[in-house]
Chains A and B, each alone.
Chain A
Amino acid sequence: MTARTIAVVSAGLSQPSSTRLLADQLAAATARDLPAGTRIVTIELRELAHDIVNNLLTGFPSPALRHAIEQVLSADGLIAATPLYSGSYNGLFKSFFDVLDPDALAGKPVLIAATGGTARHSLALEHAIRPLFTYLRAVTVPTGVFAATEDWGSAGSSAGARTALTARVERAGAELAAAIGRRQPAAEADPYAAATPFEQLLRSP
């Protein structure tokens, strides 16, 4: 079996970022359920913030952003993590997915994750983040992982005991790994390979 690649997109803005921490734990949990050699590539959107806005304005990505987009598109699975702002994903997170081709994530297994101050915001995963990926026709795994500030302080994480958050992370990682395992390794579509011969364009009504 070919080695698989997991792309991690984190829209956390502070340094260090709890969103990134959650994303890293999800990536590790996913990789544990995939064959050895699984590659994890992490994209911090903060570093691409200007490039993302520039792409929105000019219609094309800078070399750094293009590289990041290619890493996402060529990955076998995606972990998408955002802090919650005003009850939803933050603007940077949305803007990154806005500059992708609308078909770019079609069929790709995606694990969604979010961080927030309190557990009261956790359903933003279901009313905001999952619908975004549904629109993009990605395949989100059933478990989305939300981490509130208090989750990081729960007992057990250092002692090795399973906290509620750890359990969710492991379940979600296993689901993503299973979804990746069910699919052929990702290959980027070639718009030129798929171009229609002109006679066919002429014939189509």
Chain B
Amino acid sequence: MQFGIFTVGDVTTDPATGRTPTEHERIKAMVAIARKAEDVGLDVFATGEHHNPPFVPSSPTTMLGYLAAQTSKLILSTSTTLITTNDPVKIAEDFAMLQHLADGRVDLMLGRGNMGPVYPWFGQDIRKGIELAVENYQLLHRLWREDVVDFDGEFRTPLQGFTSTPRPLDGVPPFVWHGSIRSPQIAEQAAYYGDGFFANHIFWPTEHFVRLVGYYRQRFADYGHGTPEQAIVGLGGQVFMAKNSQDAVREFRPYFDNAPVYGHGPSLEEFTAQTPLTVGSPQEVIDKTLTFREHFGDYQRQLFLMDHAGLPLKTVLEQLDLLGGEVVPVLRRELDALRPANVPDGPTHEALVTASLAGPGTLEAATLEAGSRLETSAR
């Protein structure tokens, strides 16, 4: 089981002080937060990709390349990489390059983006969102697996005898997650390729996502990648903690009430009752997160949103101390113990390499941890 954090990279005024960080401060804060994630024992840092204020992370592989040099164990990922508006050739090359620099500590989550105006900025048409996601990923998938690619599609100029460089590290492409909050077609896409499916359910009620994840698991099995239980699932989460539950609520309320996404809407109490947001003690976070497994089955990656709505860096770093120090060790122990031996662990480059050396394997074999887990696989 992998635990980590994902960031939107918003520049938001701190409602407690009225102060707005500069872009420079926010970008450096994201770096500090990622380094802290490694220090407190988390496995993954993922950054969003946005091309409009108030967001800063327009160039994820630049940031993740810098982080690759600043960290040694952390998996560097995205949440999400825009498969609709980025040229798949550029994604293939940028992430292969990053993979080499980070010695394989790289994967990525693909998404369609959430704002229509972004599409024309990159020469695309939002009305073609799903079609772009389908065609672009089909090409990206080939560019990482075929040394020489001929391609003729609807959305970009044809390729003839094209080789994307550098080739993926050890001949193994970065693991791909497909992120979606509402489209069955994206769950279908993830299932078709045997890729991971990430359900960022932080703003929506659980029941909706239970159906979406259930659908992905079933289709994963239908396409012959393993059993539904062996599909690779990631989930979002959002927490704010204090030793004492009442202190957490009191400290977080102004940030909640003014948050860009849900502020001035439901009360903190309503929102925590209806969504995965947990504001309380570390034990309450543990209890709520453990319910995710009951709803979605054994899963491979849990990402938390920790740095948004204007929370100052100092607070975020303290939150990460609690997350890494008190919450994740318990969750890791509990969830790893509950996961059956034939359900894969979170995907790593080493496991993918091991599996590719072991011969033509299936995805779930590939993502089983190297060693005994692989040998005792039910498959």
For window 48-70 of chain A, which residues contact chain B by CB distance below 8 Å?
50, 53-54, 57-60, 62-63, 66
- Size of A's binding interface in residues, CB under 8 A: 21
* Closest-CB distance, A176 to chain B (whole angstroms): 32
B188 contacts A196, C-beta separation under 8 Å: yes
CB pair B185–A195 under 8 Å, yes or no, is yes
B322 at the interface (CB under 8 A from A): no
Stretch of A26-34, A110-118, A197-205 at the chain-chain interface:
A197-205
Given contacts A53-B265, A57-B264, contact A63 B274 (CB under 8 A): yes
Chain A nearest CB, measured from B263 CB (Å): 8
Which residues of A (160-205) have their CB < 8 Å from a CB of B? 191-192, 195-199, 201-202, 204-205
CA distance A89 to B271 in the complex (A): 30
A202 contact set on B, CB distance < 8 A = 134, 138
Chain B interface main SS type: helix
**Given A198-B191, A201-B185, is A60 in contact with B211 using a C-beta cutoff of 8 Å?**
no
A57 vs B261: C-alpha distance in the bound complex, in angstroms? 7
Q: Which of B189, B204, B223, B263 contacts A201 (CB 8 A)?
A: B189
* Contact status of A205 and B184, CB under 8 A, knowing A54-B270, A60-B204, A192-B215: no
**Contact partners of A199 in chain B: CB under 8 A:** 192
Residues of B within 8 A of A197 (CB): 188
Contact with A along B202-222 (1 / 0, CB 8 A): 011100100100010000000
Bound-complex Cα distance A62 to B134 (A): 33
Task: Tell me which residues across on chain B come within 8 A of A198, comparing CB atoms.
Answer: 134, 188-189, 191-192, 223
Q: How far is the CB of A46 from chain B (nearest CB, A)?
A: 18
Task: Kindly state whether residue B262 has any CB partner on chain A within 8 Å.
Answer: yes
Closest to A201 in B: B134
Decide: B184 and A60 in contact? CB cutoff 8 A: no
Can you list, as one digit per residue, whether each of A57-89 has a CB less than 8 Å from chain B (1) or not (0)?
A: 111101100100000000000000000000000
Interface contact B265-A196, CB-CB below 8 Å: no
C-alpha spacing A197/B263, complex, angstroms: 38
Closest to B182 in A: A191
On whether the beta carbons of B265 and A195 are closer than 8 Å, the reply is: no
Which of B185, B189, B203, B270 has a CB less than 8 Å from the CB of A59?
B203
**Distance between Cα atoms of A35 and B243 in the complex (Å):** 61
Residues of B participating in the A interface, judged by any CB pair closer than 8 Å = 130-131, 134, 138, 154, 184-185, 187-189, 191-192, 203-205, 208, 211, 215, 223, 261-266, 270-271, 274-275
Known: A58-B261, A195-B187. 9 other contacts (CB 8 A): A50-B266, A57-B266, A59-B203, A63-B274, A195-B185, A195-B188, A201-B130, A201-B185, A202-B138
CB<8 Å pairs between A and B, sample of 17: A50-B266, A53-B265, A54-B270, A57-B262, A57-B263, A58-B262, A58-B271, A60-B208, A60-B275, A62-B270, A63-B274, A192-B215, A195-B188, A198-B188, A198-B189, A202-B134, A202-B138
